Amino acid sequence: MKKVLIVDDELEYLEILKKGLQKYEGRFEVLTALGGEEAIKALKIEYISVLVTDLIMPEMGGLELLAHMTRNYPTTPCIVMTGYDSPELREIVRRKDILHYIAKPIDFNELAWAILEGLDRLDRDDFKAGVSVSSLLQLINIEQKTCLLEVRYGEKKKGGFYFDKGILYNALYDDLKGEDAALEMIGWDQADFRFKSLPKEDIEQRINRNLMSLIMGKQDSKMKQ
């Protein structure tokens, strides 16, 4: 029986989700974890086929958990539960990313469909490993998170995205800065992520376009190539 791990910081809500998926117990088994730290412990013990996580949780949030999944379980499909929805976000995560998302309030049939689709794609190996850079950046924007997202690609490429309350205001990679650096890194696949606090020294704002404009612009340029 394939196992699905659902992660949230509210025990009552976990029980509601587990009960709502009972009629699918012949297709998969539902396990629960109360927060990101408990999820990591469960992942070490159980073989998890699909991860479902809330974004906003104390201590270790959903974004940090997704970064952990990309580093350690890059072929495990992940489903994010979020109160935000938009056609642009659906387009970003629709492609062959391991990431899917469900808008709140959660529809149990829609969640079950996403889980089953993840299991099917896992069987067919029908996605690129890891969470894409563009997907994670959009989720940081949604959560309005303040952070430095360090991104590594391969053995030598390393850069960073600087966010203030979800707004991308600078990016650095090699000798590139601002939009040029951001556009370069947005195109990376199978990257490794680390969340860090912003440095104490002020980082100059070099990006004035909104994040979605940057992502869609990168997608358009790749299609024209």
Q: Please check whether residue 129 lies inside any domain of the structure.
A: no
The reply to whether 139 falls in a domain is: no
Predicted confidence (pLDDT) per residue in 80-96, tens digit? 888 766 666 666 555 55
Residues 29 and 101 in one domain: yes
In this model, does residue 225 exceed pLDDT 60?
no
Sequence-ordered list of residues with C-beta below 8 angstroms from that of 72, at least 6 positions apart, any chain = 43
Of 91, 124, 157, the one marking the end of a domain is 124
Average pLDDT over residues 60-87: 86
Most confident among 32-46, 115-129, 211-225 (mean pLDDT): 32-46
Q: Exposed, middle or buried: residue 131 (CB in 10 Å: 0-12, 13-18, 19+)?
A: buried
Looking up residue 80, the CATH number of its domain turns out to be 3.40.50.2300
Sequence-distant (≥ 6) Cβ neighbours of residue 88 within 8 angstroms? 138, 212, 216
| Residues 5-63 pLDDT 10s | 999 999 999 999 999 999 999 999 999 999 999 999 999 999 999 999 998 888 888 99
Domain final residue pick, 124, 158, 174: 124
Position 156 scores a pLDDT of 85
Q: What is the pLDDT of residue 28?
A: 96
What is the arithmetic mean of pLDDT over 165-194?
A: 92
Same domain? 66 vs 169: no
Query: Angle CA(104)–CA(162)–CA(150) in degrees, nearest 5?
Result: 90
In whole angstroms, what is the distance from residue 159 CA to residue 117 CA?
33
Q: If 0-12 CB within 10 Å is exposed, 13-18 middle and 19+ buried, where does residue 185 land? A: buried
Domain of residue 180, residue span? 144-224
- Of the listed ranges 102-111, 119-128, 149-158, the least confidently predicted one is 119-128
Among the candidates 93, 124, 155, a domain finishes at 124
Same domain flag for 158 and 61: no
pLDDT at 222 over 70: no
Residue 134 lies in a domain: no
Residue 2 has a pLDDT of 95
Is 137 part of a structural domain of the chain?
no
Q: What is the pLDDT of residue 97?
A: 60
- Largest separation between any pair of C-alpha atoms in the chain: 55
135 assigned to some structural domain: no
Give the total number of structural domains in the chain: 2
Domain match, 153 and 56 both:
no
